[in-house]
Amino acid sequence: MRHVFTVASFSRTTTPIMLTELSYDGLTGYGEASMPPYLGESQATVTTFLEKVDLSRFTSPFETAAILTYIDALDDKNTAAKAAIDIALHDLLGKLMQQPFYKIWGLDPQHIPPTSYTIGIDTEEMIRKKVSEAEQFKILKVKLGLDTDKMIIDTIRSVTDVPLCADVNQGWKNKEEALAMAHWLQVRNVVFLEQPMPKEMIDENAWLTERSPIPTIADEACQRLQDVPQLKGVYSGINIKLMKCTGMREAKQMAELGRSLGMKVMLGCMTETSCAISAAAQLAPLADWADLDGALLIANDLYRGMTVENGYCKITDAYGIGIDLIH
């Protein structure tokens, strides 16, 4: 990490990842599992999962549905490990078809929203430093959930008036106080609340969503496709992350289902290299909001891929997920 990363429940300076490769017909697809400790996965668990995988039973990578159904059935969890294979498979397929994946899916990169840049919980001095590093961004994502919430917002507002989105990471525990904060934040140009209260507080989150002057977005409460229908009415929208939902295939299904239910769609990330970030960016035209800054928060990226120019995600016409390995 370029800076210590602090949210309502923890701080860390590193994130373990596992990189994968799938090869076929002389081409190689790249994938990634990013594993923040709270997800319950590690390099050891991903290694154990990958050792179970036997793709020799398939004759072609174009058996996409069968391959990913098989991968998902190997274990109930290990979603980041599954995402590593899914991403590599999509990268390989795009290279075989000689197309970037957004084109294969018929998506328009001109519809990609500006990406937010994350400001973690920190001191006033460090918050000002982080904001100064994010001058090009059109929207900032602010981590809240402790007793420093108002200090953080006031500090940011002392140096910039760009729109903010507030990620509480389940940090608030009282619905009336959460509603009061929602009104306080709206006045300060905060455009939505991400996971304001613990995901188990279903009735309280629904109560807040009904009354909040700004939308609420499910993050920890939104893991996979089957979660989406039961979130309607509890939150205004969903945050989709490849590491939680097993990769690109299911992420696209979640975005389309959320849209069909009248929900807002946010496309998020973990701290990841440009591999997983560029994979997510192929889906970004489906999103109302993008939070694809993960590769910008790390100091040792291994790939060239999606870039951010003047606050906007820029993807190329490179085949697959659009990355090059930095040798």
**Predicted pLDDT at 149:** 96
Superfamily of segment(s) 12-103: Enolase-like, N-terminal domain (3.30.390.10)
What tens digit of pLDDT does each residue of 102-135 get? 999 999 999 999 999 999 889 999 999 999 999 9
Decide if 327 contacts 31 (C-beta within 8 A). Answer: no
**Predicted pLDDT at 7:** 72
- Number of alpha carbons in the 13 Å side-chain half-sphere of residue 306: 35
What tens digit of pLDDT does each residue of 263-303 get? 999 999 999 999 999 999 999 999 999 999 999 989 999 99
Query: Domain ranges in the chain?
Result: 12-103, 108-325
**Predicted pLDDT at 94:** 98
- Judge whether residue 15 has pLDDT over 80: yes
Max alpha carbon distance in the chain (Å)? 60
Task: Report the b/e string of 55-69 with b at 16+ CB within 10 A.
Answer: eeeeeebeeeeebbe
What percent of the chain stands above pLDDT 90? 91
Q: Region 139-155: what's the mean pLDDT?
A: 96
Ramachandran bin of 3, using left for φ above 0, alpha for ψ from -120 to 50, beta for the remaining angles? beta
**Predicted pLDDT at 263:** 98
* Residue partners of 16: CB distance under 8 A and separation at least 6: 34, 35, 42, 43
CATH code of domain 108-325: 3.20.20.120
